[in-house]
Structure 1
């Protein structure tokens, strides 16, 4: 029987999920709410916002949707899964209680402390003056984080007291991240490379994905402000199987157990962002959903039908569902609007995507794009505009294909990093 699916979200992650779902022989109709300029090529866009839970649930009832797949963190933290489950609707992802692991950094740090999960020393503050005093006492470099959701931008690595004071003022007094800055977490700075770990869980068991590596900062050489992510590679060549097993045993297993013990059983994909410090893997933060742009590389590497995987997850039979991966490497390089992650222009015409996709093994995922009403042309509509993905037998082959494809794409002010994956090639 054909399975009708609703994907919730409008970014590159959701385009990648929809693209992969569209390949399933069991798929019936595919809807994306609200979608973007690329998702319309694989399904039908629906003008309902990510946070309009009742409207989304009503649409699922009216269209007899068999499975709803949610992408964005704010929907999970806001309780979209709870709303759907209360109506008896099948939906993939964690409940509001389980998504707190991403929704509150203060909550997640406390959970790690109580469960002896390796993470940096930290303190939580609601008072600005006390936070400044703590920084003065503990010295720099130090990391300042808004406790709530901030689109990946609420983290400041402060190498001087002045930088720390600016970060605390912006988050706690100027409220640049609104209520997400009511609490701040201040933690010790850790040396080492960052990696992204994804574990799919049905609440009873879990399955590990290959490790991936995002490039968070806007500037080359890992400089400048944090972004939602500027490019990802997978798998990570230097992260060997024994290291992945260590991460599984010291971080993934105890985290899922700790949530279960708190009555917040986690179903969906748990995504700890780690720092591979000299003393071993340390959790920087948890995410309660697929990373973006990590999801794009996983969808390129996944051999198994994603619909089978997600349904097994929702129905609590993940242990019986094999997950196979293609060999080789996948990369996804983000093209952003000039000015991102600060103010940027919208509405610039985009050209060259068809030409880019003529290059072998290249797929372009849309993020901040839309179809302009009058001209019906594709234009920019966000900070991160496109993700150019490619696969190859080697990491270098995949990167070369992606960068060759980027040269075919044009819009005013476009920006991308030229050093995605460079550290892994050394």
Structure 2
């Protein structure tokens, strides 16, 4: 088989790396890829949102499967265009991808399906949101940009003043551009987060192993929200009993509701959950593998990933045997550029990558990197996802951070507490 992976982040690196391990796969291309994918597969200089060029390339190369990594091309309809061109694709349609493309739409789906989530209201006018907040009690609240904002359009506010400032930033100043055309204001849920990834073929649901992300920038969950500063798998807080509840009360109703809306979901459904005292509630849906959750989860997958992706694309998940997993936990630590999630500088040479990658049970997944001459440089906010397996969560964390210590570039930093919640 010949496979095209679309995207350039850490998620796409782990997908390309894992797919390339399959004995059934002859060649893997990544468009546009990064410095890490260039070492493991073949990069193609086509942007992930350039639908026209991607269709032309995929058609001319007659790929057996195209795997779409990021949310932007999915929301733009790349999956539909590939299907229309007669190609097999892993990734939801534009209509189904609205689950991530619009937080308001996702909340309405949850409400209709009876899926537990935070109480919410949707606003198209900033002044209406201001009035609503002024009339509410002064309590913690969450303000969200409705559209795609690269994981940064969510503001957790301690009270009214912060919430008013968040509305102003999103809906008036348009800090996230058109994503702020509508805003969602919802109650703040209290509890630990968990990430549930499930492969879906329109009807059948195949949950993957659990994970826990770390969204706030700094240790002890302090600081602004990011795209994710690290993750580990499995998440012990998600017990088998809780997983059954998530499957029956969240995943099944959502898939049924999307089918009822004539938007059948095929691809990866990512449920970001808060485990509250009343049980698991959905924070948000994404329509692709989480980044950085994909790195530790897929590092533990022993089943041939290509079999899973093809079965989902063909609507035949029910024919797939049970997945097999490495019983060892995995920890992924994100190394970021100085200033992230705000402004940061690019182009600093990265040292120590080969030394880190040579360590036992370690894989350095690239996210924001590129090759300049013969040097790998930082080219994004989240730069690397240093991932390690270990006999237990403590040894996996130790191995991951030992690898982190070997890597240096000007301004590099990371959280120091990734996976500590698993041992709390």
Distance in 2, Cα, partners of 1:353 & 1:312: 35
Distance in 1, Cα, partners of 2:134 & 2:420: 36
Give per-residue Cα distances to partners, 1:371-393, cap 9 Å, x unaligned. 01xx3211000000000000112
The total of aligned residue pairs comes to: 422
Runs (4+) off by over 6 Å: none
Give per-residue Cα distances to partners, 1:324-352, cap 9 Å, x unaligned. 11111011110000000000000000000
Distance in 1, Cα, partners of 2:12 & 2:95: 23
Partner of 2:259: 260
Distance in 1, Cα, partners of 2:119 & 2:15: 36
1:106-145 map, 5 Å: 106-138=104-136, 139-145=138-144
Give per-residue Cα distances to partners, 1:165-194, cap 9 Å, x unaligned. 221111001111111100000000111001
Q: Is the 8 A contact 1:135 1:142 kept in 2?
A: no
SS of 2:75 mapped into structure 1 = helix
Partner of 1:237: 236
SS of 2:35 mapped into structure 1 = coil
Match of 2:392 among 391, 394, 397: 394
Give per-residue Cα distances to partners, 1:32-78, cap 9 Å, x unaligned. 00000000111111010111112111101111211100100111111
Distance in 1, Cα, partners of 2:336 & 2:51: 29
SS of 2:370 mapped into structure 1 = strand
Give per-residue Cα distances to partners, 1:134-182, cap 9 Å, x unaligned. 1222232000000111111000000032211221111001111111100
Partner of 2:48: 50
Q: Is the 8 A contact 1:10 1:367 kept in 2?
A: yes
Distance in 1, Cα, partners of 2:302 & 2:5: 20
Gaps of 5+ in 1: none
Give per-residue Cα distances to partners, 1:268-301, cap 9 Å, x unaligned. 0101100001111111100011000011112200
Partner of 2:65: 67
TM-score, normalised by the number of residues in structure 1:
0.98
Distance in 1, Cα, partners of 2:139 & 2:125: 20
SS of 1:419 mapped into structure 2 = coil
Q: Is the 8 A contact 1:141 1:159 kept in 2?
A: yes
Partner of 1:279: 278
Distance in 1, Cα, partners of 2:105 & 2:42: 38
SS of 1:221 mapped into structure 2 = helix
Task: Compute the RMSD of aligned alpha carbons.
Answer: 0.8
SS of 1:388 mapped into structure 2 = strand
Partner of 1:188: 187
Gaps of 5+ in 2: none
Partner of 2:352: 352
Choose 297-306 or 333-342, whichever is displaced more. Answer: 297-306
SS of 1:370 mapped into structure 2 = strand
Partner of 1:38: 36
Distance in 2, Cα, partners of 1:232 & 1:114: 31
Distance in 2, Cα, partners of 1:317 & 1:128: 46
Partner of 1:306: 305
